[in-house]
Structure 1
Amino acid sequence: MDGGDDKRPVTADDRAPRSAVVVNPTKVTDLDEFRRTVNDALSAAGWPAPVWYETTAEDPGRGQTEEAVRDGAQVVFACGGDGTVMACVSGLVGTDAALAVLPQGTGNLLAANLGLSNDLAAGLEVAVERGMRRLDVGAVGDQYFAVMAGMGFDAQMLEDTSETTKARIGWPAYVVGAAKHLRDRPMRVTVAIDDKPPLRRRARSVLIANVGRLQGGVRLLTDAEPDDGWLDVAVLTPRTLRHWLAMGWALVRRRGSVPRMEVFRARRVEITSNRPQPRQLDGDLIEPGRSLKAEVRPESLWLCVPRPERAPDLAEDADAAAKRGEKLVEEARRE
């Protein structure tokens, strides 16, 4: 289901597109007010009213997204946390419908890579301006990720981060979750990249990335590009608190190499651990396991972005889009 053609689902020259909103109602404080704001803003931009779908515990968004596309939606808004966005990504891979992110959860990974926080106005403006790029995705079985998959410490951090703490202080809550596991013993892993001889390491985490920004805007992989046909594989091997501090300082400064981190490029990668490990896709936990196998699906997802040019950083122009979005929402409220 690779993409490959340069056809865009909608452009600024097209008539206003049909859209759908896939929302996780547990992530929205006032769903009626949220619905009014989105409907009014899209109406002010000349778009027809969107069709609304709510996620459920049984279906976090993939089925609703697939139904929306079958019913003619050209843009699907994903409103919720990482799990909602990942489910929508999986429902859109290989279609000509585009994904727009309206983050409502804490620390949404794809939103962070777009330069969006929980700014509803910015997310709406990015979609309304119809700046779109066709991105690669990573495939793990029948699930897909647009940002990053991982096994080990990163998923353990997510697992042990309190929802209450996230709601209270935002993404720094992940630091609290991480601190619980800095001294855990490493896992013995084999990393098989394409047809090369497998690597063996004592690692704390192995990340498979399409783009490189982490929670809080920290850029882990500066060379990761979202549409280059490759996945970047980062093997993290800190063993002491001093190693962690050195790695963190290097990531914040972003000068030169990062100690205790090796980076490889792959079209296919399989990570195998000596014992079951927590695993995550785009910041959403999946079942623990001893292996994680991913392969790239080149240019198979249309994504609404602040600026459509081919740049490694998807967050370009995000601040300006946020300001324009505030005006859009204000105009909608006056009408």
Structure 2
Amino acid sequence: MTRVAVVAHRKKTLGGGLGELRRRLTDAGVDDLLWYEVPKSRKAPKKARKAVEWGAELILVWGGDGMVQHCVDALAGWDGAIGIIPAGTANLLATNLGVPQDLEQALGIALGGERRRLDLGRVNGQHFAVMAGAGFDAEMISDADRHLKDEMGKLAYVWTGLRHVRDETVPVKIRVDGEKWFDGEASCVLLGNVSQITGGIEAFDDARPDDGRLEVGVATGHGALDWARTLGRMAVGRTEKSPLVQVTQGRKIDVRFGEPTAYELDGGAYGTSKRLKARVVPDAITVCVPVPGPA
């Protein structure tokens, strides 16, 4: 039996909780189990690295995208596999990979699913699995603080988003693979490794987490009407057909802002910066995903 480790955010819950997870692992014959609980996702990397040092070949990450982001940042390049148990407020990577928010099914995929090698993005020295955002997106996430998320769940993002729809644009210059691509005012810059973002919207229609590229998107509108038009177009059609959005792909992206701008990685706020240096890291991590059904 593969040596299994659990790295869990103890404040997150799913199904019968962590006690139920331990029981199910025992019932599945997992006797050689390493168990780590953390009070905050930023403490997870140390435990993930410790699990590798103790010989773990499969690490189950219990929590949301923040827990997953911190773990993949620590484990990038590792030969073992990560199983996602989506117990967080936002579970975008799990959703994009078809891992349901159900303890029994998610554990079944982690122990018996297919293992898929995925790319990661890297921004200013930190890896991300889902997306990086700056401007409107990051301000919204920063405001959805821990207390508000605990009280309102996913509605916290809607509430804080409404507070920022009137935010002003900032000057932005973007180079993609060494070539100038965008020079103008923007309210939001997104770098994506997968297609679906918060609310189930397909922000990057052609994104694949194993194609060796990152998606790049810029939103130029601001104000409630512009954002309603933009999100409406993204919800019912291809994103690039919106007159307020520009989209491309690349391996190396250099974003420069005219003023310090808030940015986030996989739903976690990382402060402000006047520059984002990003690149794709191909085949960086292995994740357990559902076995494909018949065509």
Distance in 2, matches of 1:254 and 1:49, equals 48
Cα distance, 1:255 vs structure 2: 5.0
**Which residues of structure 2 form unaligned runs of 5+?**
none
Cα distance, 1:117 vs structure 2: 5.7
SS in structure 2 of the partner of residue 26 of structure 1 = coil
* Structure 2 match to 1:259: 243
Tell me if structure 1 keeps the 8 A contact 2:41–2:67: no
Query: Residues 122 and 258 (structure 1 numbering): CA distance in 2 closer, same or farther, change over 3 Å?
Result: farther
Q: Deviations over 1:97-132 (max 9, x none)?
A: 111111222113322323446422232121022311
Q: Deviations over 1:195-231 (max 9, x none)?
A: 1125212111111111121123221111011100000
Distance in 2, matches of 1:151 and 1:36, equals 38
SS in structure 2 of the partner of residue 61 of structure 1 = helix
Q: Deviations over 1:41-95 (max 9, x none)?
A: 2233333342111225595211111111121111111112332211111122101
Cα distance, 1:242 vs structure 2: 2.1
Query: Residues 283 and 58 (structure 1 numbering): CA distance in 2 closer, same or farther, change over 3 Å?
Result: closer
Query: Residues 245 and 29 (structure 1 numbering): CA distance in 2 closer, same or farther, change over 3 Å?
Result: closer
Query: Residues 116 and 167 (structure 1 numbering): CA distance in 2 closer, same or farther, change over 3 Å?
Result: farther
* Structure 1 match to 2:155: 172
Query: Residues 85 and 276 (structure 1 numbering): CA distance in 2 closer, same or farther, change over 3 Å?
Result: same
**Which residues of structure 1 form unaligned runs of 5+?**
1-15, 310-315, 318-335
Equivalent pairs, count: 294
Tell me if structure 2 keeps the 8 A contact 1:137–1:145: yes
Query: Residues 205 and 58 (structure 1 numbering): CA distance in 2 closer, same or farther, change over 3 Å?
Result: closer
Distance in 1, matches of 2:35 and 2:222, equals 48
* Structure 2 match to 1:323: none
Cα distance, 1:237 vs structure 2: 1.0
* Structure 2 match to 1:244: 227
* Structure 2 match to 1:272: 256
Aligned counterpart for 2:4 among listed residues 2, 19, 34: 19
Distance in 1, matches of 2:222 and 2:200, equals 25
* Structure 2 match to 1:89: 72
Cα distance, 1:145 vs structure 2: 0.5
Tell me if structure 2 keeps the 8 A contact 1:113–1:217: no
Distance in 2, matches of 1:277 and 1:181, equals 14
Query: Residues 259 and 48 (structure 1 numbering): CA distance in 2 closer, same or farther, change over 3 Å?
Result: farther
Query: Residues 59 and 263 (structure 1 numbering): CA distance in 2 closer, same or farther, change over 3 Å?
Result: closer
Distance in 2, matches of 1:49 and 1:220, equals 41
Tell me if structure 1 keeps the 8 A contact 2:41–2:66: no
Cα distance, 1:18 vs structure 2: 1.2
Q: Does 1:38 align with 2:21?
A: yes
Cα distance, 1:29 vs structure 2: 8.9
Distance in 1, matches of 2:52 and 2:5, equals 9
Distance in 1, matches of 2:197 and 2:124, equals 23
Cα distance, 1:297 vs structure 2: 0.7
Tell me if structure 1 keeps the 8 A contact 2:141–2:160: yes
Amino acid in the other structure paired with 1:287: G
Richer in strand (by share):
2
SS in structure 2 of the partner of residue 27 of structure 1 = coil
Cα distance, 1:137 vs structure 2: 0.4
Alpha-carbon RMSD: 2.4
Query: Residues 159 and 133 (structure 1 numbering): CA distance in 2 closer, same or farther, change over 3 Å?
Result: same
- Moved segments of 4+, more than 6 Å: none
* Structure 2 match to 1:222: 205
Tell me if structure 2 keeps the 8 A contact 1:112–1:214: no
SS in structure 1 of the partner of residue 166 of structure 2 = coil
Distance in 2, matches of 1:127 and 1:259, equals 41
Report which stretch shifted further, 155-164 or 115-124: 115-124
> TM-score, structure 1 length as denominator?
0.81
Tell me if structure 2 keeps the 8 A contact 1:107–1:216: no
Aligned counterpart for 1:293 among listed residues 267, 277, 288: 277
Query: Residues 160 and 117 (structure 1 numbering): CA distance in 2 closer, same or farther, change over 3 Å?
Result: farther
Distance in 2, matches of 1:272 and 1:279, equals 12
* Structure 2 match to 1:146: 129
Q: Deviations over 1:3-47 (max 9, x none)?
A: xxxxxxxxxxxxx321111112233499xx633311222233333
Distance in 1, matches of 2:257 and 2:291, equals 39
Query: Residues 216 and 199 (structure 1 numbering): CA distance in 2 closer, same or farther, change over 3 Å?
Result: closer
